[in-house]
Amino acid sequence: MIILASASATRAAILRNAGVEFEAMPAHIDEAAIKHAGAAAGEAPGAVAQTLARLKAQRIAARLPDALVIGADQILSVGDVWLDKPESVTEAADHLRRLRGQTHTLHTAVCCLRDRQMIWQHVATPTLTMRAVPDDFIADYLAAEGDDCLSSVGAYRLEGRGIQLFERIDGDYFSILGLPILPLLGFLRQHGTLR
């Protein structure tokens, strides 16, 4: 049995579209406190993303020790600043204004636990450069996206019109969406879970 320890519809869709049979179970942890503690301790964003992914997987693995549990998380960094998912469209506009004309990095972590033990982990770090889009473009984009923009740390969805915000993307598309699926599939095949 494979469990995705996530409430993310995008991560679930990536796994489902890849033909992986799984059950999604959200793992509720205090992400803000963990991020704050990691940042205060000077930890790298990728290390904190790994910690979040591991803690989510551990939360589910404690209940289902025989399952293969996949944990995943993502942190966006622009310079020394980390952004979280916006809580309102107004905050999403602030995110996009901060990111415009800048290059930012998504630290996308995924891990697998079985019998409560970490058996694999991976971090991908795609970088994205946003165009210097004007305020009216941001307003039109957010009006079209509505609350969907609140589901992404950067307030954009590349799988939709959010792609128009960017002038350059370096890295794996699926890692940008929140799940480095190719390395994960490779691990699942190596582990004997997939053929």
Catalytic entry in 30, 66, 73, 172: 73
Mean pLDDT for 24-51 is 94
**What pLDDT was estimated at residue 116?**
86
**What pLDDT was estimated at residue 160?**
87
Residue 75, pLDDT > 80, answer yes
What is the reported pTM? Answer: 0.94
With cut-offs at 50, 70 and 90, classify the pLDDT of residue 65: confident
With cut-offs at 50, 70 and 90, classify the pLDDT of residue 159: confident
Q: Does an H or E element contain 17, and which?
A: helix 9-17
Is residue 73 annotated as a catalytic residue, yes or no? yes
With cut-offs at 50, 70 and 90, classify the pLDDT of residue 171: very high
Mean pLDDT for 153-172 is 93
Residue 19, pLDDT > 90, answer yes
CATH topology for 2-189 is Maf protein (3.90.950)
Longest dimension (CA), the chain: 52
Residue 2, pLDDT > 90, answer yes
The residue type at 5: A
Q: If we measure between CA atoms, which residue out of 83, 76, 79, 130 comes closest to residue 105?
A: 76
For 16, list phi and psi in degrees, rounded to 5: -60, -45
Where are the domains positioned within the chain?
Answer: 2-189
**What pLDDT was estimated at residue 194?**
81
